[in-house]
Amino acid sequence: MMKKNSVFVPALFMVFALIAAVSFSSAILGNKGSEPDEMATNKDDPPEQASGIAHAPPSLDDVPDGPLGKAILRGYELTNNTSEVLRAEASTVEDGEQRVNQLSCTSCHAGAGMDENSSSMVGVSAVYPMYIPRSGEIVTLEERINGCMVRSMDGEMFAEDDEDLDAMVAYLTYISEGIPVGADLPWRHRNTLDDLPTPSVDDGEALYNQSCIACHAGDGSGTGSNTGPALWGDGSFNDGAGIARMSKMAGYIQNNMPVGAENTLTDQEASDLAAFILSRDRPEWEHHDTDWPNGDGPSDIMTKERREQVQDGTIDWDEVLGK
Ligand code: HEC
Ligand code: HEC
């Protein structure tokens, strides 16, 4: 933990000071101001204590009878076994492969979005619609789901009137029960590691072969969407996905991998692993040019051009990492 705290504590302290200053001034100005217990204190504090908002999704055993309950359970299936369900129901094998890659939402949002540490989706129905800089516009929950469908799932969007999309929203609304509208969810956006050390792809490869291969396979194709999902290759996410950024991949790996020994990798190891994984071939996103229309895009997206630079030894990591 020391290794992480040394980086996180100063940054967190600044964030804390800023939050304190903002809520103090808004209190003076008579704005609605935050409750004192709403202020984030330390990453290691239990979030419930820090925010007063509990991460406590209801059990699927308590889903109501009737059409709504059916939709919630269908939404759970679609979230947890996305590719199995959608590919099995497609009219041809080719259509199924076009529709979705080999991942499930659970591949990245563990426990069908109910695992607090792994990009939890608890509360999303209370915070969308919201402004997303990557889109440069207000995005609804339906549109955000479709964003992961075309990027992380390297597939096709659900049509606006598709009942499966309604089912996913019904499920995400169910697991968000009790979360107030517009709440500041302490478990959001935790899987980001900024100020990454300059990576070594070779060290990343060696560590991968030692610690990751058992579940994710030597060629990165994985052992199953919920046992060890595809990390690169045709079955994996495309390079327009959030996790195709160095900061997000390294943060996700450090907080969640290897399963059973989470939070043991140093910043250097997480950076090495992220660089190795993101330098392998994967599907390309066709619309990089229209992302971040306001010019505030990040520098650490590992595009095809960058993958080739790693392979031919010309990559400038300082530029990628914004150093
Ligand atoms: C390859 C990894 C990956 C897969 C697979 C994936 N997502 Fe995501 N998703 C992400 C990342 C990364 C984020 C951004 C989270 C962050 O910044 O911390 C995200 C964000 C989201 C959000 C917004 C959460 C928020 O707090 O704003 C929703 C909703 C979402 N995903 C739904 C889905 C659904 C539904 C599926 C399955 C159809 C899915 N995702 C599959 C990686 C993935
Ligand atoms: C014991 C099995 C296991 C080991 C070992 C393991 N993983 Fe995973 N990995 C999983 C599972 C299961 C998931 C799906 C999410 C979850 O359930 O936490 C996952 C998800 C992921 C994801 C997000 C999904 C995707 O397709 O990109 C990444 C990235 C990842 N693992 C990287 C690693 C790295 C790097 C290592 C080695 C340091 C590692 N994993 C070791 C089982 C494992």
Residues 147 and 257 in one domain: no
> For residue 232, is it left (φ>0), alpha (ψ between -120 and 50) or beta?
beta
- Distance separating alpha carbons of residues 249 and 267, to the nearest angstrom: 12
Tell me which of 256, 264, 302 to substitute to probe ligand 2's pocket, judged by most ligand atoms within 8 Å of the beta carbon: 256
The protein residue whose alpha carbon is closest to atom 39 in ligand 1 is: 105
**Are 168 and 114 spatial neighbours (Cβ–Cβ below 8 Å)?**
no
Which residue range(s) make up the domain with 156? 60-175
Q: What is the pLDDT along the chain (323 residues), one digit of tens a residue?
A: 344 444 444 454 554 444 444 444 433 333 333 333 333 333 444 444 456 899 999 999 999 999 999 999 999 999 999 999 999 999 999 999 999 999 999 999 999 999 998 999 999 999 999 999 999 999 999 999 999 999 999 999 999 999 999 999 999 999 999 999 999 999 998 999 999 999 999 999 999 999 999 999 999 999 999 999 999 999 999 999 999 999 999 999 999 999 999 999 999 999 999 999 999 999 999 999 999 999 889 999 999 999 999 999 999 999 999 99
* CA–centroid distance, residue 323 to ligand 1 (Å): 27
Residue 90 placed within a domain: yes
Alpha carbon of 132 to ligand 1 centroid (Å) = 13
Q: Domain end: 109, 140, 175, which one?
A: 175
Does residue 33 belong to any structural domain of this protein? no
Structure token pair of residue 28: 């003076």
Report yes or no: 280 and 230 within 8 Å, Cβ to Cβ: no
Instruction: Please tell me the distance between residue 35's alpha carbon and the centre of ligand 1 in angstroms.
Output: 29
For the Cβ of 152 lying below 6 angstroms from any atom of ligand 2, the answer is no
| Per-residue pLDDT, 52 | 80
pTM for the model stands at 0.87
Which runs of consecutive H residues, i.e. helices, occur in the chain? 2-28, 47-51, 66-80, 82-89, 93-99, 110-113, 124-127, 141-150, 163-175, 201-211, 213-216, 246-256, 267-278, 304-312, 317-320
284 and 244 within one domain: yes
- Ligand 2 centroid – CA 212 distance (Å): 7
Cα–Cα distances (Å) from 236 to 97, 138, 189, 231, in that order, read 12, 28, 21, 6
Same domain, 208 and 287: yes
**What is the b/e burial string over 23-62, where b = at least 16 CB atoms within 10 angstroms of the residue's CB?**
beeeeeeeeeebeeebeeeebeeebeebbebebebeeeee
Decide: 109 in ligand 2 pocket, CB within 6 A.
no
Q: Do both 302 and 215 map to the same domain? A: yes
- CATH code of residue 91: 1.10.760.10
Query: What is the pLDDT, as a whole number, of residue 51?
Result: 62
Which residue's alpha carbon is nearest to atom 42 within ligand 1? 108
CA of 265, closest atom in ligand 2: 38
Q: Which ligand is nearest to the CA of 110?
A: 2
DSSP 244: G
The verdict on 209 and 118 lying in the same domain is no
166 neighbors 125 (Cβ within 8 angstroms): no
Residues 102, 171 share a domain: yes
Query: How many domains does the chain fold into?
Result: 2
Q: How many CA atoms lie within 13 A of 68 on its CB side?
A: 8
The reply to whether 150 falls in a domain is: yes
Structure tokens that stand for 211 in this block: 């610690």
Instruction: Give, as one character, the DSSP assignment of residue 301.
Output: B
196 is a domain residue: no
In a domain, 70, yes or no: yes
Pair 171, 207 in one domain: no
On whether residue 274 sits in a domain, the answer given is yes
* Closest to 263 measured CA to CA, from 49, 117, 112, 46: 117
**Position 28 in a domain:** no
**Same domain, residue pair 240 and 296:** yes
Give the pocket of ligand 1 (CB within 6 Å): 79, 82, 103, 105, 107-109, 119, 121, 124, 144-145, 148-149, 152-153, 168, 188-189, 191, 237, 241-243, 248
CA distance 269 to 100: 31
- 307/277 Cα distance (integer angstroms): 10
| Residue 261 DSSP symbol | S
